[in-house]
Structures are given as C-alpha cells and as structure tokens.
Amino acid sequence: MITTREANRRRMCLDCGESGARLFTDRTDRILRICDLCLRKDDWHRFGLLEREPILGEVPTEYVEGEWCWPTADGPEPGAVITFATEPSPETGHVGWCWWALGDMGDATTYDEARQKAESSLCLRVGL
C-alpha cells in the first residue's frame, strides 16, 4: 500500500500506484492523487473530491540528466526549470506556470504542459 505522501511525491495513484495521477483535495483539504481508471471504478466521489492544480512545493521543478527532480544545492546544473509566478513574470508577462530550458522560456496553463514544453524545447536545442 502506497502512502499519500509517497503518491504525491511520485505523482502516483493512491489506489493502484499508476503514474501520472490527477491531483484532488477532499472535504478535509487532504491532497490525494487518483488516476482516471480508479476514479471511474471506485467510489472516490463519496469523499467530495475537487480537482486542483499542484502548487510549486508539490512538484519537481528541475530537469537534471533526463529526469524531473526537486532542486538541490549540489549536483549538476539543470537543463530546464519550472516556476510558478503569482505576479506577471518579467520575462514573459505571464502569471502562472513558467518554464526555462537552456535559455529558451515560455509559459503554460498547467504544470504538465510546462514540463512538456520545456522538454520539447530541450529536444530541439540539443537535437534529441
């Protein structure tokens, strides 16, 4: 059985362990990750789930050696970084999810979209 903390850290479904689960809060504001399949087959709605976007502290924000991870003081420099701007970003003017990848930058509607755009930019810049 996976813990709620581990499911959130690894973006896994609390029920089945599948990666890429969506983020919800329940009536008590507890953060839960549930995949679409478990959401349909189980009775999760009895908890009054509301889907929500992750906050910056809940997601890995640096792309290092082909993997998204949490920032660390040591180790190699990241190839990409994701941030969340609460005021218009000086670089893009965007409020919300922003990404940087080897000098290229942009904004996104969701965290997952920011990751995807940063990875695509890296692929174009390094020829992957």
Q: What is the pLDDT of residues 72-97, one digit of tens each?
A: 888 889 999 998 888 887 877 888 88
What is the C-alpha radius of gyration for the chain, rounded to an integer number of angstroms?
A: 16
Confidence of residue 56 (pLDDT cuts 50, 70, 90): low
What's the burial of 70, exposed, middle or buried (CB within 10 Å: 0-12/13-18/19+)?
exposed
Whether 75 and 121 map to the same domain: the answer is: yes
Three-state SS for 30? coil
Side-by-side strand order, sheet with 50-51: 31-34, 22-25, 50-51
Give the model confidence (pLDDT) of 61-74 as tens digits: 899 989 988 888 88
User: Other CB atoms closer than 10 Å to residue 87's CB: what's the count?
Assistant: 6
The total of structural domains in the chain comes to 2
Whether 94 and 109 map to the same domain: the answer is: yes
Whether 11 and 69 map to the same domain: the answer is: no
Range of the domain at 118: 56-126
Whether 64 and 114 map to the same domain: the answer is: yes
Whether 121 and 66 map to the same domain: the answer is: yes
